[in-house]
Structure 1
Amino acid sequence: MVKAILWDIDDTLFDYAQADTDAATRHLAAEGLPHDTAALTHWRTLTHTHYTRFTNGELTFTEQRRERVRAYLGPTTPDAQADAWFDRYLTHFEQAWTAFPDADPTLTLLTHPLRHAILSNSTTPLQERKLTTIGLRHHFEFLACSHEIGHAKPAPEAFHHACATLDLPPHDVAYIGDLLHTDAHAAHNAGLHAIWIDRTPTPPPPLPPHIHRITTLTALPTLLPTLHA
């Protein structure tokens, strides 16, 4: 049976979407830029586009931030100016950090005998600070983040690195994340049990039997005993 769970953070444990919306609204307004629905949609599109370039290895973590800024300030914006602009956004972002209400109770319930760790497409310092701020860091043995390990989801090497750190074979580990392709399908392809946390109100697409969909983390204690190697 499953002996450990690897967790995604953003939009799985941490309400990234709401924090980003609140922060972008305040930041764009403070910078004297449009901050209506269209502007927020543009911000989210830029984030997805350039973060995907980061996970594909085309940009570093810092470069993807700068590219998002240059869409607003111009393509020749110096690095220092772009970094300062993004740092001002981060100030608003960190003020909006919060965990989903089902995160801590579920982790507390599953503490024994299961082990818990993080696999995230981000940087370790950022995710360490985030988990500490939202009160969840103590639940996890370690954080494996793509910037430091050199592999990003959906690459199987990212999942295998985390499993090796746990000293467990992939079939003894479950992975839970909010993205169907990058998290769920990728975890299955790497040999882990794949759990998709789908908090969206839209009906899901048809799913293969190896993708286990839940809509709240409180469903995990019931689901986990049904997963077998």
Structure 2
Amino acid sequence: MATASWLGRPVTGVLFDLDDTLVDHRGAVERGLRVWLAGMGLDDDIEEHVERWFTLEAFHYERYQRGEISHREQRRARIRAFFPGSDLRDDAVADDVIGGYLACFRAAWSAFQDAGPAIARVRALGLPVGILTNGDQAAQEEKVRRTGLSSHGVPVYASSALPAAKPDPRAFHHACHELGVDPGGVVMVGDSLRHDVQGAAAAGMAGVLIDRVGRYRADEVAGITRIRSLADLGW
């Protein structure tokens, strides 16, 4: 089996998170929202709208990950909360409204420039590599295809098709099993301290935090390997 090294430990496999690690999720949300809201004549106070959207997204997506509501239901909950004064009680109406946003969001999907080269370098070392992401399997696979990352032939393991979502160790262990590698030799690279790095540690894996914009304070990540670009992995 091929091996590499990371901070003095042997590496036999690599898992990458998808959103805000390989794909610019936050950027796509911001760009998509701006186009969508402007199309409805709601481009006043756009920064406030964007931050409120992210707050609602985080809250209701966590509910979906906990199994409290379905993927479609979390979308409906978000749009109803975003437009509290509108009559969106009918599911078909709510789906139609958020569908306008989703079209703009998908059109704004893009991979970070360092994403493809990072995957290619790991594959060139002969190491098994996969994408481990929270979310709907079909939606995340579509995102990988539309951003061109599917050209690398990397399998996608999304939480809707896993025993649990990150940071549950079962998500990491399932991906490692599918890749045919022992978790102790795998490095997980992701942008979430809780979901990716701490989750990986609980699963017996090494975690690398990619913090592109300085989201975390130094005291929050003491003892954590933090990088600003996937090029900093050194592989």
TM over 0.5: yes
1:60 corresponding residue in structure 2: 70
> Are residue 88 (structure 1) and residue 100 (structure 2) matched?
yes
* 1:200 pairs with 2:209: no
Does the 8 Å CA contact 1:175/1:195 hold for their aligned counterparts? yes
Q: Distance in 2 between matches of 1:19 and 1:31?
A: 18
Q: Which amino acid counterpart does residue 12 of structure 1 have in structure 2?
A: T
Q: Using a 3 Å threshold, how does the CA distance of structure 1 residues 193 and 140 change in structure 2: closer, same or farther?
A: farther
1: CA distance between counterparts of 2:138 and 2:49? 29
Between the aligned partners of 2:99 and 2:88, the Cα distance in structure 1 is: 18
Aligned residue for 1:111, secondary structure, equals helix
How far has the Cα of 1:29 moved from its partner?
2.4
Structure 1: gaps of 5 or more residues: 223-229
2:60 to 50, 53, 62: 50
Q: Which residue does the alignment assign to 1:3?
A: 12
Q: Secondary structure at the match of 1:195?
A: strand
Q: Any idea what SS the aligned residue of 1:191 has?
A: coil
**Where does structure 2 lack aligned partners over 5 or more consecutive residues?**
1-9
Counterpart in the other structure of 1:18: 27
Distance 1:140 1:204, change over 3 A: farther
The amino acid across from 1:130 in the alignment is K
Matches within 5 A, 1:65-214: 65-71=75-81, 72=83, 74=86, 77-112=89-124, 113-202=126-215, 204-206=217-219, 207-209=221-223, 211-214=224-227
Partner residue in 2 for 1:38: 48
- What's the CA shift for 1:101? 0.9
Letter in 2 for 1:77: R
C-alpha displacement at 1:33, in angstroms?
3.3
Change (3 A) 1:203 1:124: closer
Task: Render the CA deviation track for 1:94-148: whole Å, top value 9, x for unaligned.
Answer: 1111111111122222212112111111112111111111111132442111112
Alignment-mate amino acid for residue 194 of structure 1: G
Distance of aligned partners of 1:183 and 1:77 in 2 relative to their CA distance in 1, 3 Å threshold: same
Show the counterpart of 2:230. 217
Opposite residue 150 of structure 2, the aligned amino acid is R
Q: Aligned Cα RMSD in Å?
A: 1.7
> What is the distance in 2 between the residues matched to 1:105 and 1:220?
11
Number of residue equivalences = 221
Normalised to the residue count of structure 1, the TM-score between the two structures is 0.90
Change (3 A) 1:54 1:118: same
Percent identity among equivalent residues? 37
Equivalent residue letter for 1:7:
F
| Aligned partner of residue 110 in structure 1, secondary structure | helix
Question: Residue 132 of structure 2 aligns to a residue in which SS?
Answer: strand
The residue that corresponds to 2:4 in the other structure is: none
